[in-house]
Amino acid sequence: MHRIGVITGGGDCPGLNAVVRAVTKSAINLYGWEVIGFEDGFKGLVENRYRILDLQAVSGILHRGGTILGTTNRDNPFNFLIEENGQKEFRDMSAVVLENLDRLGIDALVVIGGDGSLNIAYQLHQKGVKVVGVPKTIDNDLSATDLTFGFHTAVATAMDALDRLHTTAESHHRVMVLEVMGRYAGWIALAAGIAGGADVILIPEIPFKLEKICEKIEERTLTGKKFSIIVVAEGAKPEGGEMVVQKIVPESHDPVRLGGIGNKVGEEIERLTGKETRVTVLGHLQRGGSPNAFDRILSTRYGVAATKALKAGNYGSMVSLQGSVVTTVPLEDAIGELKKVPVDHEMIQVARAVGISFGD
């Protein structure tokens, strides 16, 4: 093996640059390989846009958020949007990807991404590309790994927001609702809610009842607590209801864009309790910014493990954190299904033990 490629796909995430840096430096320092970085996710693979990654190119990027390579969550080479003569259609461009990799002399590919990107990586592997995946998502919803990088930083951002909301909620005797990311899995809301001292946590895995939320707020009022803090994952839904869809993006591999549940919950709480309620949607603040120490270290470990997996010929795998050890697992184990919060998870039990309500 002489030359490898690296790609960052899907949504941006704290720690992406740290992985790119670790892959590049370990590939060069340990094995003398050349490293090619494809720009703007899989779109760069289709359009053959890339840059040479040497030690100078990755210098000073460990602490930077985002990705120096660019990314996109809309360009699947197996279902790629083409526009010709004003007409749009989706085509399978995987053959073009294979040609580009062959033309550049790419011996293997490191794909850094979440469920969607790693599904594409697995399909490329089935077509003969030597692939190793790196698990990336702030939602921590990838199977076959204890943690994805970026999750810890996103939780810390949400916790900081809750700390700030506490002071203004207490001052004005208000109910504060914080909407965080988490479409189908509530890991961010659960962890941030516990760390930030929330009174109610609403996650996709546990449908909620508005009357139960209001009961918790009234219970606090009776004990002299004049404010309440509620954390709600964007994918949370009422019992018997549906998730709140903000819009549909047809060209994306996951076209549903959620958002708005925080406002709906806030409006209903104010209507039912008469208490002044304010809503904050954290949105993409959770994705941005510098990775914290934990994610910088995990990202670096993952990047080095990915190059070692390539060296060992462990293709079609994903690097994974199992306990305190970084190892590899088959890609198909990681993408089979999303890792949701079990309703009897130890963190759920801890939250209930300290008086946090899940609206059920």
Amino acid letter, 194? I
Dihedral sign computed on CA atoms, order 263, 345, 160, 254 = negative
Give, for 318, the enclosing helix (H) or strand (E): strand 317-322
Separation of alpha carbons 11 and 51, rounded Å: 20
Annotated active-site residue 139? The verdict is: yes
Max Cα distance, the chain (Å): 71
- Nearest alpha carbon to residue 228 among 211, 216, 210, 212: 216
Structural contact between residues 58 and 24, judged by C-beta atoms closer than 8 angstroms = yes
CA–CA distances in Å: residue 305 to residues 81, 150, 181: 34, 17, 28
What are the backbone dihedrals phi and psi of residue 202, each rounded to the nearest 5 degrees, phi first? -115, 120
Q: Which of 12, 40, 115, 139 is catalytic?
A: 139
Taking CA atoms, 53 is separated from 3, 4, 24, 59, 261, in Å, by 11, 10, 7, 10, 42
Cβ atoms within 10 Å of 278's Cβ, excluding its own: 15
- For 57, other C-beta atoms within 10 Å of its C-beta total 16
Tell me the residue type at 266: G
Count Cα neighbours of 257 within 13 Å in the Cβ-side half-sphere: 12
Instruction: Please tell me the distance from the alpha carbon of residue 108 to that of residue 117, in angstroms, as a whole number.
Output: 16
Kindly state the DSSP code that residue 284 receives in the 8-state scheme. G
Q: Which residues are catalytic?
A: 139
